[in-house]
Amino acid sequence: MRVFAALSSVFLLQIGAVLCQSATLSSSADILFWPVTSSSSSKPSLLAKIEYDSKTLDTNVLSYTPPAAAGSSNDNKNGQEEDLVRVGFFVDTPASPKQWVGSLISQSALATQRQKLHLYLGGATEQPYHVSLSPHFNQSSTDALDVELVFSKPGPLPELNKPVVINPDGTNTEVVEKTLFQKYWWVFLVVTFLAMSGGGGGGEGQQ
What are the residue boundaries of the structural domains of the chain, listed by start? 22-68+77-151
Q: Tens digit of pLDDT for each residue in 156-201?
A: 667 677 676 677 776 777 777 778 778 888 888 888 888 888 755 5
How confident is the model at residue 77, as a pLDDT?
56
Query: Residue 23 pLDDT more than 70?
Result: no
In degrees rounded to 5, what are phi and psi of residue 131? -150, 145
How confident is the model at residue 71, as a pLDDT?
64
Q: Radius of gyration (Cα) for the chain, nearest Å?
A: 33
Query: Residue 1 pLDDT more than 60?
Result: no
DSSP-derived letter for residue 139 is T
Band (pLDDT 50/70/90 cuts) for residue 96 is confident
